[in-house]
């Protein structure tokens, strides 16, 4: 049986809601409930369930791991928001704004431990393969986050370095979600690896889309404040491409804003966005997104299951990337 995403979303939400933490100390657990109850897109657990459903339909057996991956993802968001000093997440104030910075750190740490707890609710035969993958993924995400931070003060970041950073920070978790689902379903090593690489390409496309929306989206559609990447000098594909393709005057203007200590945030966003517009960086970004997305679809097509079984997963990722289904 092939399950619809709407049904899988309902099952994930029901399971996560059943994990509500209504015990003491409330100051530790209330922020966890606050983050999880708003839902979000549940992209990573859904990818895991959809990968599992390529081979099997007893999806209840993989719900603990799906919850684990969502718990882990939200753990990173608490810490990312704190490091980026972000005010909003999913159209609500971030945890460190509602509570305080120490709470965001400690509640985030607790979510990481809980993620391991749920990931380990698995038969030993599967756990021997899943736990090392999950652990390596968690380490790689930290590596990606550190590179992201260092890039803010580096002037010589290349586009290749940036792509590697987002592979670590974003893509590997999508890839691991798919591969864990495949492993639990008893997929062949070849299929599991192909799903992982599909997830890498999907994740790269997804993050580049995120970069685009930080400039050209709206708080309502993006779920957080617009222009944070520009304000914090994030070395995104768009900023690096603008610098590489810009005139000497445009490069000088970019560097002037990057090095400026005191500025009006809206003025900086407006100035850098104007350069993007002059250079058609939005179109260049879309070309890069298309390249990764199409490579991902080729990998998905190579999976050794009937084409009809891939339709729900394929439709889901197309909606993720705002493609026509």
Please indicate, yes or no, if residue 272 is contained in any of the structural domains: yes
Nearest to 314 by CA among 216, 198, 228: 198
Please indicate, yes or no, if residue 23 is contained in any of the structural domains: yes
**Structural domains counted in the chain:** 1
Task: Provide the residue range defining the domain that includes 184.
Answer: 5-320
Residue 143 has pLDDT above 50, yes or no: yes
Q: With residue 318 as reference, give the H or E element that holds it.
A: helix 307-320
Q: Which residue has the higher pLDDT, 224 or 278?
A: 278
Please indicate, yes or no, if residue 94 is contained in any of the structural domains: yes
Please indicate, yes or no, if residue 325 is contained in any of the structural domains: no
Residue 197 has pLDDT above 70, yes or no: yes
Please indicate, yes or no, if residue 34 is contained in any of the structural domains: yes
Please indicate, yes or no, if residue 194 is contained in any of the structural domains: yes
Please indicate, yes or no, if residue 103 is contained in any of the structural domains: yes
If pLDDT is split at 50, 70 and 90, which confidence band does 325 have?
Answer: very low
If pLDDT is split at 50, 70 and 90, which confidence band does 86 have?
Answer: confident
pLDDT, tens only, 244-260? 999 999 999 999 999 99
Give the residue-averaged pLDDT of 182-189: 97
HSE (CB half, 13 Å, CA atoms) of 155?
8
CATH number for position 168: 1.10.600.10
Please indicate, yes or no, if residue 228 is contained in any of the structural domains: yes
CA dist., res. 170 & res. 203, Å (int): 6
């Amino acid at each position: 049986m092939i399950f619809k995403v709407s049904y899988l979303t309902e099952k994930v939400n029901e399971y996560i809601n059943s994990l509500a933490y209504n015990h003491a100390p409330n100051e530790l657990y209330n922020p966890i409930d606050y983050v999880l109850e708003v839902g979000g897109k549940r992209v990573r657990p859904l990818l895991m369930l959809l990968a599992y459903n390529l081979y099997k339909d007893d999806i209840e057996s993989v719900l603990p791991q799906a919850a684990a991956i969502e718990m882990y993802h939200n753990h990173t968001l608490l810490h990312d928001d704190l490091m980026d000093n972000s005010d909003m997440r999913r159209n609500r104030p971030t945890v460190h704004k509602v509570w305080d910075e120490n709470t965001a750190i400690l509640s985030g740490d607790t979510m990481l431990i809980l993620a391991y707890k749920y990931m380990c609710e698995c038969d030993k035969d599967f756990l021997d393969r899943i736990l090392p993958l999950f652990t390596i993924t968690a380490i790689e995400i930290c590596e990606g986050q550190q590179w992201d931070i260092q890039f803010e003060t580096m002037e010589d970041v290349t586009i290749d370095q940036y792509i590697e950073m987002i592979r670590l920070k974003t893509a590997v978790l999508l890839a691991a979600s798919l591969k864990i689902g495949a492993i639990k379903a008893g997929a062949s090593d070849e299929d599991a690896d192909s799903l992982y690489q599909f997830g890498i390409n999907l994740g790269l496309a997804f993050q580049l889309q995120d970069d685009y929306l930080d400039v050209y989206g709206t708080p309502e559609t993006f779920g957080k404040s617009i222009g944070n990447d520009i304000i914090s000098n994030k070395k995104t594909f768009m900023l690096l491409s603008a610098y590489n393709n810009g005139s000497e005057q445009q490069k000088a203007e970019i560097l002037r804003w990057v090095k400026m200590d005191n500025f009006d945030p809206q003025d900086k966003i407006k100035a850098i966005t104007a350069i993007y517009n002059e250079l058609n960086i939005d179109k260049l970004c879309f070309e890069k997104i298309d390249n990764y997305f199409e490579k991902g679809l080729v990998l998905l097509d190579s999976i050794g299951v009937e084409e009809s079984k891939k339709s729900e997963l394929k439709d889901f990722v197309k909606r993720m990337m705002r493609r026509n289904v």
